[in-house]
A and B are shown apart, each in its own frame.
Chain A
Amino acid sequence: MSIPQQFNSDNQPPTAPFTFQADRVQTSDFDDITYSNFSLYNNVLKSRDSESYSAISSNGESFVEYRDSQNDAQLHYLDPPFMDGEINWSGTNQTLSAKFNPYSVDTLVCHMTRKVPTEEWKGEILHPDQQVYEFSFFDRNNSRAVFYNDSYLKIVKAAECDKEQKIPRIVTIINLCKVYWDYARLIEARVEKLKSQGKETLAELKTFQWILMIWELCGIIYINPKKEYYEELSHLGQNSYGRLSNELKNWSNKWLPLLVPLEDYDAQLEESISPQEEKVFWPYLRRLVLRGSSKAIDLLNLVSEKDIEDKFLKEYIDKITQILSSRPHFKSQDLEKFSVSFKTWRDKIRACEKELNNQQDEPSSENIISILKILRGDINSIIEESNSWIEALMSMAISHPLWDVQNLREKTRDCLLHFPMDENTKALDKVLASLLVRDPEQGIKLCEKIDVWLVAHLSDMFNKFELVGKIRFQGSQMQRRVNPYSSESDMDIRELSLLNFAESLVFHHSLWQLAFKYFELCEAYGKFYIAECIMRIPFDSEFKLSKILNICRSNRLDFQEKTILRVAGKRYLQEERYASSIKYFMDAGDTASLEVIFRIFLDYYTNTGNLGIFKYMESVQLDESSPDSMKFLSKYRLFHELMQVGDFQTARAYIMELICSQIAPTTFLPVLLVNTLPLFHEAKKSGTVILTNADNFEILRNLYNLVHGMYQEECASCLERMRVWHTYVNGYADINEKLSILWTAVNDNQLIVYKYGEESNPFWN
């Protein structure tokens, strides 16, 4: 037996087999599944009596308790995937098997399988093979719900800002810019919240940190310059030189680690008697200068405060401190003034560097020169000192405050030549590189590896700032689905991203409404998506049904609305909730299904003589446009009610209208005719005219057709069914095939009409 022993020893033998046969799926198919979304089930213990089972991971760290709130039948036992003794487990040749969890609409159950030749099987326990992962397509904790709802309000706000045609474009841009940075605050709030939530959310925290990093960078290099451009165009402001450099400095200090590996040198240097002689002093100072950090001045001050014997060093430390402190700031200066002051500052560095070059023999001159080189923006020195392309680029931007985004783009390419990307490059670096070389479409596309929310919202904002347009899709499935005959394959990148994001929410048990709101934001294909998805939303209460129908109505999806109404009607029909069923079928305009209910009602009465089923008609609201079949049922119910209260004249009007209308099938006609019998008897008993000559004639005409005419078979069949109850319910003599009782009654009635004279009937004439 080659199954790892743990399964046999620790677990009770499963009483139910592995009910969902796993199809083989390559691991590569699951690239998009992040580990954080997995719940790990290992050593799944079955507990037949309780409705829960627990799992302990192989390293014993996390304890996962799985509770199935439904019932015992829904428990599933996760056996090893292979029970065959010929198969063993291997450290190589792994395959991820996965299957939809048959008891949950939104989870996938995965487990690793692998094979090894029997002779290599040494009997050791291989933990990974025992692990069973449950993967949910959705965040089951709903932890993102708050964030998604908040960000939805922002996207609507952006859409409203963009829609406003009457105001100047600059106002729109300023408003959109506010929305953009509102998003950043939302993401930041989420990051802060995740930070306070411990280990479980580390993966989510990392994702959101990346999202914020990208969002802020895009704000700096795309959104703010765009706003600046419009402000300049509208003479509302001018290009604030150095803004880009300053913002990138803040961004890089926020997101890029200063030291790799991270070490705290501050304390070490502070405690030292002569910090400048510490091994870490110069590299640390270089890094601080590289990142434009004000801490560099603090560090130099720390050294100058100490009693330095080396006069050369003291002189130059003071000089560097002075250079760093006098770095020109850009805020309120115009370009000319700023350029002059910056040039003067840089000349000062060059002069200092020249002096040092003549004093090469001094031990610290080399270190000071390297710092001066970084300060004046020497690209080679910066690249040499940097740990990554992005750090090098940011340092260059810091030391070149006059750069604009175009310069940044060129230098990004240079940096990437020195730090080439390879297969191991992180997705984040690829995204940042694409964005910095001003290829936003590619950047957005690469963001797919990070998060679908980011792709959707970034592309929406970029679209509103006119930074991205349409992209060409080769053999786009969506294009074919939406319009198979269209030769156009260009698609709005914004819309595509929003649709993808919304599609990820559409079957979420709680956020599905948000998905449809996002679809509504997509002008070209949104409606198509709503039409396709709305009919698949499950509903279990009238409240949810009304929400679903409202989405159809507000998007004018008549066909879908009617289909859902029909589904609801059919479901309630199966449950014998006739009143609701009739309501929904009437709303759907489904006369065929109403006809089915109509027949059910008539058959029920024909077979049993029980009027109970007609009580459902009490709750059915009819209007002029309602189908005849329903009007018939309603009037037929009223006829019986009137008979019960003794209002025979009105009852006569109703029954004669029902007979004449020919709405009822011929199989029900004998019932209607027999229903007139009590009226004949009442007329005879009270000596008043209830049924007129015209009524007599109509009844006789129908009687003839039934008894001697073309409907003899239907009549016979109906009378057969009525015989079971007719005499018992009505108290009259049994009815025969020729309906003689009715012939006699009509004849008697003719005499009554002759005797008492025909009265006009307001209901009939």
Chain B
Amino acid sequence: MHEQESLYAQHAYGKISKVRFSTSPGTFGDRNTLFATGTWDEQNNNTLKIWSLEEASISLENSAPFNNKIVAKTNHKGDVTAMQFIGDILFTSSSGGDFNAFKCIQSEREVETDLDFAIEPQIRYNYTLETIMTHQLHSFSEGRSASATGIAIRPNSENDPEIVSVGEDGRLILFKLDEHNQFQIVDAADTSGFKAVAWPSSDQIITIGISGQLRLFDRRGPRKPMVFYDPDRPRDSLNCLAVNPSQVSQIATGSSEGLVTTWDIRNCSGPLKQVHPHETHVYELIFHPYRPAFLFSCSEDGTIGVINLNASSIEGFRDYGMARENVMIHKYNYDYNDLAINSIDYHPLSKLLIGGGDGQNLFSMKFD
């Protein structure tokens, strides 16, 4: 067990499946930093919430360093399985196979709460979430929906977003937001069904299948996707993937055995590096946007890991971390929490890492 440091936690009112920061600080017409959380496993009460990041201006002992506030809330049909922001539009996918787009609109005056009296504190909303698009994209057969599992947005397509959605039905669906009735569907792109998708460069889409295979689709030709996997662990299934923002050919994957593996998609013969930061399922990986040697991970074991893939140049890491093959792992936990952390995201401007999971808490941590 690695030495662990503590996270700050506050109630999130629901089992969190996804957390995402809004893409830019001035997106919503003010200087607030906003982020969204989505829940899962709440039957008909799954929700999508927008939070405003609020830090204590003076750090006093025993005072909460963060007091993030819910500024908007809406119901979400099905579990929230994936989430992405573009400007003031929030895209989500659901366990019912839907792709949704919500527009986050700032209200002129605060909206009175009409919340379930028993769950959340009295809240005054500053924003409203307006549904601008809902499409059921994934199903096994007519009338039997399949969970949508991932969405990715084509790089540099913010003005005319092009989106890829994948699901457990093994379909890969490409569409443009403005032309939302024209779908390019790749049936049985992975017959085992998909778990995650990323769009590293304009022409390449990479997916993870339930079977554990990585598939690299190249849009430039009709060729079959390139399939690769860890030859040492062909049966270890992968859960998540992340693309290195400064070197898009490098990706990282997290597996159900707690392994984090980096790959070079130009040469897929085998992994570049492999570390074992967690005991079990790694649910999400995020590269530090400015320091790509740092990789954040979260896991079923209830911890958040910070992995330095290039530990020789480390700064600020204390010497009790685990160093192996030039890799340093540092782990963070909240109190005695051992319930899964399902999702994390990092905001480079506020230098804040947030996470959420099955313990219905929202975790925050400063990371330079």
Contacts and interface: CB of A to CB of B under 8 A. Distances in A.
A146 B121 CA distance: 11
B193 A546 contact: no
B350 to A, nearest CB: 26
Nearest to B168: A542
Contacts of A587: 235
A653 interface: no
Interface in B108-152: 116-119, 121-122, 140-141, 144, 147, 149
Interface string A612-646: 00011011111100000000000000000000000
A509 B234 contact: no
Interface residues of A, number: 51
B118 A200 contact: yes
Interface stretch (B63-71, B206-214, B265-273, B308-316): B206-214
A621 B119 contact: no
B229 interface: yes
Nearest to B359: A149
A618 B191 contact: yes
A153 B336 contact: yes
B42 A510 contact: yes
B280 A145 contact: no
Contacts of A142: 14, 42, 45, 116, 118-119
Contacts of B13: 145-146
Contacts of B170: 579, 619
A517 B336 CA distance: 12
A543 interface: yes
Main secondary structure, interface of A, reads helix
Contact of B361 (A149, A577, A616): A149
Interface in B38-89: 40-45, 79, 81
A583 B15 contact: no
Interface stretch (A301-309, A547-555, A704-712): A547-555
A157 B335 contact: yes
A484 to B, nearest CB: 33
A198 B113 CA distance: 15
Contacts of A201: 117-118
A197, A509, A546, A553 interface centre (most CB from chain B within 10 Å) = A546
A546 to B, nearest CB: 6
A160 B4 CA distance: 15
Contacts of A583: 192, 210-211, 237
Contact of A619 (B41, B42, B213): B213
B120 to A, nearest CB: 9
Contacts of A145: 13-14, 119, 360
A575 B140 contact: yes
A583 B338 CA distance: 28
Which of B40, B117, B168 gathers most chain A CB within 10 Å?
B117
Given A153-B336, A541-B79, A510 B41 contact: yes
A578 interface: yes
A156 B336 contact: yes
B11 interface: yes
A619 B121 contact: no
Interface string B3-32: 000000001011101000000000000000
Given A146-B11, A513-B358, A540 B95 contact: yes
Given A156-B336, A622-B234, A623-B235, A69 B118 contact: no
Given A141-B118, A580-B193, A618 B280 contact: no
Contact of A616 (B118, B140, B191, B335): B191
A193 interface: yes
B281 A550 contact: yes
Nearest to B236: A621
Contact of B212 (A146, A575, A621): A621
B126 to A, nearest CB: 21
Interface in B337-356: 337-340
Interface string B198-238: 00000000000111110000000000000101000011010
A26 interface: no
A480 interface: no
A160 B335 CA distance: 11
A547 B300 contact: yes
Nearest to A616: B191
Contacts of A476: none
A319 interface: no
A157 B147 contact: no
Interface string A300-330: 0000000000000000000000000000000
A3 to B, nearest CB: 34
A69 B78 CA distance: 12
Q: Which of B17, B116, B235 has the most CB of A within 10 A?
A: B235
A577 B194 CA distance: 12
Interface in B141-177: 141, 144, 147, 149, 168, 170
A406 interface: no
A586 B40 CA distance: 28
Contact of B234 (A139, A541, A621): A621
B115 to A, nearest CB: 10
Interface string A440-456: 00000000000000000
Nearest to A626: B235
B256 interface: yes
B177 to A, nearest CB: 26
A295 interface: no
Contacts of B45: 142
Contact of A200 (B117, B235, B281): B117
A157 B192 CA distance: 41
Contacts of A540: 95, 147
Contacts of B186: none
A283 B227 CA distance: 88
Interface in A578-602: 578-580, 583, 586-587
A152 B41 CA distance: 19
Contact of B193 (A513, A517, A577): A577
A579 B335 contact: no
A331 to B, nearest CB: 25
Contacts of B359: 149, 152-153
Given A146-B13, A157-B336, A547-B340, A510 B43 contact: yes
A544 interface: yes
10 contacts: A143-B119, A146-B13, A510-B41, A547-B300, A553-B280, A577-B191, A579-B192, A619-B170, A621-B234, A623-B235
Interface of B: 11, 13-15, 17, 40-45, 79, 81, 95, 116-119, 121-122, 140-141, 144, 147, 149, 168, 170, 188, 190-193, 195, 209-213, 227, 229, 234-235, 237, 239, 256, 280-281, 300, 335-340, 358-361
Given A541-B95, A542-B168, A575-B144, 9 more contacts: A142-B42, A153-B359, A157-B336, A543-B147, A577-B191, A619-B170, A619-B191, A619-B211, A621-B213
**Nearest 7 CB-CB pairs, A to B?**
A143-B118, A579-B192, A619-B192, A156-B336, A141-B118, A579-B191, A619-B191
